[in-house]
Amino acid sequence: MNLEAQFLTTLGELNEISWDMKKLSAQAISLIDLTLLDEKATSQDLKTLSEKGNVHQVAAICVLPQHLSTIAPVAATQLTTVINFPTGTQALSEVLTEIDQIMIHNQVNEIDYVFPYQNYLKGEKREALEHCHHAYTRCKQHGVIFKVILETGALPTLESIFALSCEIISQGCDFLKTSTGRINQGTTPSAAFAMLKAIENSNTSCGLKVSGGIKTPEQAFTYMCLAKQIRNRDLDNSWFRIGASSLLDELMRT
């Protein structure tokens, strides 16, 4: 059975499950990486984001490197930033220097790194994977969690998403992440399924972060239930995250 058929079977099983909306809403909030990746964000925008994230105890607050100094660190909430973002085309030397500078000047806990997917798709697979591995090694030297953004909307098939996920996991990462949210196709349940199957097959502690267009509670619940079903473990933010900017507001209304 191919991945598409497996996904449809799993989706059918999930559709038979009754959702406890109140319980899922509370759980979803604890899984959110509350995100603001707007270069034009003002100090007030960032302050509001930080306060909202801390009040509701989301998993993390994710902002651009240049905005890190505006976010006041709070012990209960992780601070996350992005590198090689959003196109995945920075030179390795630039990425490594940026990681070092981020860690010297800020109290960052996690880094979301865009895999060089464009080079990978052009056939430069070894170079792209080495780029990722060097970034991972540098992040581990600094003691930060390393999430790899595959940009699944640019990958042609579920099999290609699965294969790349397996390669990245085997050489080292803490989380796989679906999307930047900057291309037309964001995350999809089928892409998340392929990544979860790769994680399942790896027998590692690698986590998954879904992001890119998750705006409604129902979307979030689908990914949550999918992850729990495949990994057969209770959800918590040590291994499952939802990257979103407006989802928290919607969950507060449920």
Active site residues: 112, 177, 209
Cα dihedral sign, 233-243-175-167: positive
80 forms beta bridges with 62, 110
Q: How far is CA 105 from the centre of its chain?
A: 23
Residue 14: both structure tokens together: 């999930």
Instruction: Read off the amino acid at residue 194.
Output: A
Q: What CA–CA distance (Å, rounded) separates 150 from 188?
A: 13
Cα dihedral sign, 212-81-221-156: positive
Q: What CA–CA distance (Å, rounded) separates 140 from 172?
A: 10
Burial of 254 (0-12, 13-18, 19+ CB in 10 A): middle
Q: Which among 134, 137, 148, 75 has a CA at the least distance from the CA of 107?
A: 75
> What angle (nearest 5°) sits at the alpha carbon of residue 147, between those of residues 54 and 235?
60
